[in-house]
Structure 1
Amino acid sequence: MISIHQPVLLEEVISHLNLRKGGTYIDLTLGAAGHSLEILERLEGDAHLIGVDRDEEILNFAQQKLENFPGKFTLCHDSFSNIREILLKQQINHVDGVLMDIGVSSWQLDQGQRGFSFNKEGPLDMRMDISQALTAEKVVNTYPEHELANIIYLYGEEHRSRQIAREIVSYRGRKKIRSTLELANIVQNTLKYRGKIHPATKTFQALRIEVNQELQQLQTTLGVLPSLLKDHGRAVVICFHSLEDRIAKHTFKNKEIWKALTKKPIVASREEMKKNPRSRSAKLRCAEKPSGAI
């Protein structure tokens, strides 16, 4: 059963996409289709939406959720970094707007069997696309100590990464680490504290990013977007931690390719934060492709 959550910064997304009559739009992180549903509600003329997601289960759910708009959308099971190939298959050269809501979705966290949450018992998986080979279990049990430490430090921004990596390697020397709660307990016992933020939060974030190559995919995708957008086409990116936001911010600073429309990231209102706690860390940035930019 898939639990559905409110799409983050919904009105801000719609406003910044600046939907055009007859335009073509692509939601590269479809998820439960919360944003896409609203986009389809507001599209006019022969406009079309393409939805992309690596997770086949949620893609099937989205198909049912959007069934009231037959012929107005196309869904693709793929990684968003393959946007150029996705559009080629659809015989589309350029689009009017792109949306990216980066990171793990709320419903993925809610499913213990997917292995994303340190609060739910499940296998150490963390794959957004379950057809890929690399899992968090493989990372935790086979990566050298120095590589684990680097991943936890760089992707989790965890300053005690070396200590955590050392304890993981020591533990796996006695017993293979297979479950989420097992790993969470190792980290918690290593750091010996628990405040408002669970001590395993940063480590789990780092492993998820490594398993799914999230930062590399974001970098690649933002790099090819200008060549796929029409003049004055827009890119809207929602990030949930500083590593992603830094990439988007740096990319949109290139004035030869982009016209940044958000000097500072847009954040959720207090009202939205109360209704949807996930929105507290959301940061939206938007940029437009100027006329003639490559």
Structure 2
Amino acid sequence: MTASPGPDSRRHVPVLGREAVEALAPRAGGVYVDATFGAGGYSRMILDHAGTRVVAIDRDPTAIAGGAALAEAAAGRLTLVEDRFSNLEEVCDAQGLQRVDGIVMDVGVSSMQLDEAARGFSFRLEGPLDMRMGREGPSAADVIARASEGDLADVIYHLGEERQSRGIARAIVAARREAPITTTRALAAIVAKVVRSKPHEIHPATRTFQALRILVNEELDELLAALCASERRLAAGGRLAVVSFHSLEDRIVKTFLAARSRAGGGSRHLPEVVASPPSFTVLTRRPVLPSETEIAANPRARSAKLRAAERNAAAPHPAEAEGAWPRLHDVLRGG
């Protein structure tokens, strides 16, 4: 997610950008992965350190195209790759990188995606109900049209943490019987009839839109896979920095780093399993939060949290099991 007070630079300054790059501690000759390139803010700050190289990943072709000028200015030190960040290892393999010195990721939708009405991320802007970060796969409109009432309620409750999920799901199903729901404002209006909010509170559709976006882009699965890939690809002494914007994302990062920073794997029920030694040292005992100045300049920064850790020489832990959240393929096939 990007922000800045000035109109010319606001797309280039990521939330908690300085803090995240400081946590990486870039060094001359180091190789770093910007796993969520966006508008290039992290990459630019890493490249400001002489002799660094950056491999930047983004699933959004618009973001990759927008980084062409930065890549040219970097004169071979920046490589842009259109891909999901869960494929981090495959991207590194293609670049001949067995180990890297740091990985930074900014989880969630970017400001430039929110501000582009045609992408369908924002309930404040009229646009098609799309929400895809890439341009492939089912859209939010497909989910709204095809998911059962029960699945819609589960998605909105678990991924949006919306208490009135069942009422919203009922309203959506009733509305789609009358006419297809294909625009952002049409969906926002349906939700607003169910969820009442006061002027100083968040928009009634905020949590529903969050839930659909996370589902359509499989964001929680992507994050968990990217964290596991980072553990396998970071060199000893390499650092991981993750900025998240929602409690669901932050919980996954916090749980992952907690498990990796202590010995694990043993069980009194399975005594033959050998405990895995810690693979990370957590650098942020508590998450780093944006300053009041940053929040004033960009209200979207308010919920941001940065967590960072340093990799050691221990072997990676076994990959995490799937989390217990709704998944796109299950919702679209009816269970």
Q: What TM-score do you get using the length of structure 1 for normalisation?
A: 0.96
Find the counterpart in structure 1 of residue 17 from structure 2.
10
Q: Kindly report the root-mean-square deviation, in angstroms, between the aligned alpha carbons of the 2 structures.
A: 1.5
> Letter of the aligned partner of 2:288 in structure 1?
I
Cα offsets for 1:140-170 (capped at 9, x unmatched)? 1100111100000000000110110011001
Superimposed CA distance per residue, residues 91-133 of structure 1 (whole angstroms, 9 cap, x where no aligned partner):
1111000000000000100011100000000000000001x12
Residue 36 (structure 2) aligns with: 29
Alignment of 1:170-209 (within 5 A): 170-195=174-199, 196-209=201-214
CA distance in 2, matches of 1:192, 1:28: 38
- Which residue in the other structure is 2:280 paired with? 258
Q: TM-score, normalised by structure 2?
A: 0.84
Aligned match of 1:234: 239
What is the Cα deviation at residue 65 of structure 1?
3.3
What are the Cα deviations for residues 223-264 of structure 1, in whole angstroms up to 9, with x where unaligned? 121110000111100000100000000000122121111010
Residue in structure 2 matched with residue 245 of structure 1 by the alignment: 250
Q: Which residue of 1 aligns with 2:216?
A: 211
Worse overlay, 164-173 or 185-194: 185-194
Equivalent in the alignment of 2:87: 82
What amino acid is the match of 2:225? T
- Within 2, Cα distance between the matches of 1:243 and 1:68? 37
Q: Which of 43, 68, 91 in structure 2 is aligned with 1:63? A: 68
Q: For residues 145 and 262 of structure 1, do their structure 2 counterparts lie closer, same or farther at Cα, with a shift above 3 Å needed?
A: same
CA distance in 2, matches of 1:258, 1:108: 33
Q: Which runs of 5+ in 1 are unaligned?
A: none
| SS of the residue 2:56 aligns to | strand
Aligned counterpart, 1:99: 104
Runs of 4+ in 1 over 2 A off after TM superposition: 2-6, 192-196, 291-294
Instruction: Give the Cα–Cα distance (whole angstroms) in 1 for the partners of residues 137 and 258 of structure 2.
Output: 36
Match of 2:313 in 1: 291
**Partner AA of 1:292 in structure 2:** A
Q: Quick one: structure 1 residues 5 and 110, their matched pair in 2 at CA, closer, same or farther if it must change by over 3 Å?
A: farther
Kept in 2, the 8 Å contact 1:37–1:66? The answer is no
Unaligned runs of 5+ residues in structure 2 are 1-7, 262-277, 317-335
| Counterparts of 1:175 and 1:102, CA distance in 2 | 34
Q: Report the CA distance between 1:192 and its aligned residue.
A: 3.4
CA contact (8 A) 2:11 2:112 kept: yes
> Is the partner of 1:153 in helix, strand or coil?
helix
Match in the other structure for 2:148: 144
CA distance in 1, matches of 2:198, 2:108: 24
- Cα deviation code 1:186-232 (max 9, x no counterpart): 00012233432100000000000000000010011111211100001
Shift of 1:66: 3.9
Distance across 2 between alignment mates of 1:114 and 1:108: 7
Q: Which residue of 1 aligns with 2:48?
A: 41
Work out whether residues 6 and 276 of structure 1, in 8 Å CA contact, stay in contact via their aligned partners in 2.
no
**Counterpart residue identity of residue 42, structure 2:** H
- Structure 1 distance, partners of 2:308, 2:280, is 10
Q: Aligned partners of 2:156 and 2:225: how far apart in 1?
A: 22
Contact 2:30–2:101 (CA under 8 A) maintained in structure 1: yes
Q: Distance in 2 between matches of 1:224 and 1:72?
A: 22
Q: 1:229–1:5: structure 2 CA closer, same or farther, 3 Å change rule? A: closer
Mapped to 1, the partners of 2:244 and 2:41 lie a distance apart of 16
Taking the aligned partners of 1:65 and 1:118, their CA distance within structure 2 comes to 31
Distance 2:228 2:46 in 1: 24
